[in-house]
Amino acid sequence: MVSILRSVATTTAAVAAASAIPIAIAFSSSSSSSTKSQSPNLSFSSRSSPRRLGLSRSFASSPMTTVPVSDRNLPQEDRVVMPQLLTEFMVDMKCEGCVNAVKSKLETVEGIEKVEVDLANQVVRILGSSPVKAMTQALELTGRKARLIGQGVPQDFLVSAAVAEFKGPDIFGVVRFAQVSMELARIEANFTGLSPGKHSWCINEYGDLTNGAASTGNLYNPLQDHTNTEPLGDLGTLEADQSGEAFYTGKKEKLKVADLIGRAVVVYKTEDKNSGQGLTAAVIARSAGVGENYKKLCTCDGTVIWEATDSDFVKV
């Protein structure tokens, strides 16, 4: 049993990171069917949850995975196969022309299997293994504002998605976790402001940032009795380019997103996590799953989402 957390994150970020979703998803109306393949129709006219919409019934039990395009020339044993995920964006759309432009652009992105557009609610739902960054860039290339509002699978996980936000002053970034199944989670991260080179990163036991990374405790490892397994909180290494940017997408077996809430993601100065107490840290907070965040107004100040400035959002 994992140790009791010292602190719990109190803010919920706009989601989350990646997962395995089967092929058989249904899409609604004339503006919701992808041109890549045909599937049965479902109605998405209301702001109901995916459970009411019947999304969970349209998913098969076996996950579908995709080999990233960058890995397709590698030997079979070296390929990273990514699980699929349902991702929701709120996009500023006003007509069927907007719908067609959004769908056409997204269908060119590697790893996207299906696209559904709900014009009434200004919501775009995407099934695939593509990173959030690639989907966001494609949406913004249409000239429309887009905000990530949900990510995960339409199943009854207690917590299906979580996020850790690094807000500077020197290092900025977002780490997203999404539960694919009871035995698998997908992780996606991007950072700016790192020094070029490799950086170890991990999940630590506590979300106590009183003394920065130094007060986040030890490496999270609830499976410590199993000596032959890699510590569950060990996330490997990030590699920052010459501009200080790092991007990561991967998966972790036996990682349960619900158990991560209130813990911390820690990034180290080098690839040796024993070299110091950590360069920076951020608390892991619950974030919206699929169908949980269709609001257009910010509850804190009443700002319409399209009138918010870029500084109000962490870049993806």
Task: For residue range 52-70, list pLDDT tens digits in order.
Answer: 333 333 333 333 344 333 3
Which DSSP string do the residues of 56-111 spell out, in sequence order? GGGS-SS--EE--GGGTTS-GGG--PEEPEEEEEEE---SHHHHHHHHHHHTTSTT
Per-residue pLDDT, 196: 97
Average pLDDT over residues 102-131: 94
Supply the mean pLDDT for the chain.
Answer: 74
Span 91-105, pLDDT tens digits: 999 999 999 999 999
Rounded to whole angstroms, the Cα distance separating 3 from 220 reads 9
Average pLDDT over residues 144-173: 86
CATH T-level fold of 50-155+289-312:
Alpha-Beta Plaits (3.30.70)
Number of continuous H segments (helices) and E segments (strands) in the chain: 3, 14
Rounded to whole angstroms, the Cα distance separating 50 from 43 reads 11
User: In sequence order, what are the beta bridge partners of 65?
Assistant: 83
pLDDT band at residue 285 using 50, 70 and 90 as cut-offs: very high
Q: What amino acid is encoded at 71 in this protein? A: D
Portions of the chain given CATH number 2.60.40.200: 161-286
pTM of the full structure: 0.68
Per-residue pLDDT, 180: 87
Looking at the predicted structure, is the pLDDT value of residue 74 above 60? no
Burial code (b: 16+ CB inside 10 Å, e: under 16) for 71-110 equals eeeeeeeeeeebbbbbbbbbbbbeeeebbebbbebbeebe
CATH T-level fold of 161-286:
Immunoglobulin-like (2.60.40)
Span 194-207, pLDDT tens digits: 999 999 999 999 99
Per-residue pLDDT, 8: 34
**% residues pLDDT > 90 (the chain):** 52
* Among candidate residues 224, 152, 221, 225, the one with its CA nearest the CA of residue 184: 152
User: In sequence order, what are the beta bridge partners of 179?
Assistant: 185
Per-residue pLDDT, 308: 41
Question: Which residue's entry shows tokens 């990030």?
Answer: 238
Are residues 94 and 306 in contact, defined by beta-carbon separation less than 8 angstroms? no
Range with top average pLDDT, 75-84, 169-178, 306-315: 169-178
Are residues 41 and 27 in contact, defined by beta-carbon separation less than 8 angstroms? yes
Average pLDDT over residues 153-178: 87
Specify the DSSP element, H or E, that contains 132: helix 132-140
Beta-carbon contacts of 154 under 8 Å, excluding residues fewer than 6 positions away, are 50, 51, 55, 56, 59, 86, 290, 291
pLDDT band at residue 257 using 50, 70 and 90 as cut-offs: very high
Portions of the chain given CATH number 3.30.70.100: 50-155+289-312
Range with top average pLDDT, 73-87, 148-162, 236-250, 298-312: 236-250
Average pLDDT over residues 248-274: 94
Rounded to whole angstroms, the Cα distance separating 287 from 41 reads 28
DSSP E strand stretches across the chain: 65-66, 82-83, 85-91, 112-118, 123-128, 146-152, 161-167, 172-181, 184-192, 197-204, 234-240, 246-253, 264-267, 280-286
If one compares 41 and 268, the residue with the highest pLDDT of the two is: 268
Average pLDDT over residues 151-164: 79
* Among candidate residues 155, 126, 149, 268, the one with its CA nearest the CA of residue 203: 268
Span 8-49, pLDDT tens digits: 333 333 333 333 333 333 333 333 333 333 333 322 333 333
Per-residue pLDDT, 160: 83
Structure tokens at 229: 């397994």
Looking at the predicted structure, is the pLDDT value of residue 138 above 90? yes
Per-residue pLDDT, 28: 35
Average pLDDT over residues 157-161: 75
Per-residue pLDDT, 187: 96
Dihedral sign, Cα of residue 281, residue 79, residue 89, residue 254: negative
